[in-house]
Amino acid sequence: MASIESEANRNHYAVIAANAGKLTSPQAIIDHNDIHWTALTGEPRGVDFIEIDAGGMPAMWVVPKGADEQRVLFYAHGGGFIGGSIYTHRKLVGHLAKAVGCRALLYDYPLAHQAKHPAQLEAAISAWNWLVDQGFDPGRIVIAGDSCGAVLTYGVLQRLRAQGRPLPVATLVISGWFDMALTAASYQTNREKDPAFAKEAVDWLAANFIGDADRRDPEVSPLYADLSGFPPVFLQAGADETLVDESRMFAERARQAGVETRLDVFDGMLHSFQMMAGRAPEANEAIARFAAWVRPRLGLPAAGEKTREKAA
């Protein structure tokens, strides 16, 4: 049974649905997210947030006290390309980085009203290039994102592979948006459970992002990408969200391509429920699972153990 605390996420999406059509400008949507979405997440303690310019895009170093300085979580925030920012997601990424024990680079990108695809992917690549230019080894970087951040995460991986460049060591995805062709059966089976992401709404988000471009272009729909050779991936999704089958389909595609894949689906949860980190037990458990899975891939010890390679 879902916790009482987790109802905040469901209520958040119910409010979004109730306000559909009332937020009539891009800035109104941005402001709504800044006020209401940000409030879902508890403030992580012992984490510093340092705003920087990363390859020409606003970004933020998220630095937990005592974090390993050589390892990095490279994070793309969600928001359907209509909202979300380094500010709405800084606390979530703070909880995740703190649990993993490394710093994170959380980067921004143009929203769809500012520029259409591929401007967002170009921004992600610029931030990645900046990070590597600082001397960070891709073999000590985890690439991650939530919702539409999955588009950028796998867009970066495809661009790096095409250029013959080193890939990050692992991938984390929260409620990934993998298929702009909207073929998932859960758009129907979860229609009554998910108050915000009806198929019609997600169809509008896709059109707003790419216009009349091919919905199955692998750079906008990772479900149709060649996933061979990509790093291990841990996917998480809520059982009640309409996008959940996209994670299931993507997990199957990744396994078929030989990618080490884990998918955890959380009963009673909606889209990006991890945003309730620090407040809801389900979100805290999800982040703990991410950390336990990714720490050994980064060469970090299990939580509570001391590292022998701190300065390596």
Q: Please identify every residue annotated as catalytic.
A: 147, 240, 271
309: nearest Cα among 92, 61, 137, 73:
137
What residues form DSSP beta bridges with 34?
Answer: none
112: nearest Cα among 6, 41, 186, 210:
210
Identify whether the C-beta of residue 248 lies closer than 8 Å to the C-beta of residue 185.
Answer: no
Q: Report CA 94 to chain centroid distance, whole Å.
A: 13
Total length of the chain:
312
Q: Where does residue 56 rank: exposed (0-12), middle (13-18), buried (19+ CB within 10 A)?
A: exposed
Q: Which residue has the tokens 């994170």?
A: 104
The dihedral built from the CA positions of residue 203, 204, 207 and 208, taken in this order, carries a sign that is: negative
Give the CA angle between residues 94, 312, 306 to the nearest 5°: 60
Q: How many CB atoms lie within 10 A of CB 124?
A: 27
